[in-house]
């Protein structure tokens, strides 16, 4: 354990990254709320007023992110690019689809 460092800052940053990488809406929302709780814990342990206010602001921002709907534009674009998957024909064998 390192002395003088606030361990909740790294945990809050990891929770934010987890929220950004989340695949579904519920996981994203829960990760943002976890990040907000971690930022609050970091603010409670902080002795410097400027950093305490910074952590509180980051906690508020994380809560706002949790309440916003996810950006679905990229996901919809990925769905339309691939299209339906067709089985590949195998030489010498008859396909039950043909």
User: Residue 78 domain-assigned?
Assistant: no
User: Residue 40 domain-assigned?
Assistant: yes
Q: In the prediction, which pLDDT does 76 show? A: 45
Q: What is the spatial distance between Cα 84 and Cα 44, in angstroms, rounded to a whole number?
A: 52
Structural domains of the chain, count? 1
User: Residue 44 domain-assigned?
Assistant: yes
Tokens of 44: 């409670």
Other C-beta atoms within 10 Å of 12: how many? 25
pLDDT in tens for each of the 98 residues of the chain? 556 788 899 999 999 999 999 999 999 999 999 999 999 999 999 999 999 999 999 999 999 999 987 665 444 444 445 556 555 566 666 655 55
User: Residue 30 domain-assigned?
Assistant: yes
User: Residue 92 domain-assigned?
Assistant: no
pTM: 0.66
User: Residue 84 domain-assigned?
Assistant: no
User: Residue 94 domain-assigned?
Assistant: no
User: Residue 21 domain-assigned?
Assistant: yes
- Domain extent at residue 62: 7-70
């Amino acid at each position: 354990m390192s002395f003088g460092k606030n361990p909740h800052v790294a945990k809050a940053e990891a929770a934010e990254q987890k929220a950004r990488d989340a695949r579904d809406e519920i996981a994203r929302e829960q990760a943002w709320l976890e990040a907000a709780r971690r930022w609050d814990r970091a603010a409670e342990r902080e002795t410097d007023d400027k950093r305490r206010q910074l952590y509180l602001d980051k906690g508020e921002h994380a809560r706002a992110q949790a309440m916003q709907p996810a950006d679905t534009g990229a996901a919809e674009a990925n769905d339309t690019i691939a299209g339906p998957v067709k089985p590949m024909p195998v030489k010498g064998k008859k396909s039950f689809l043909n």
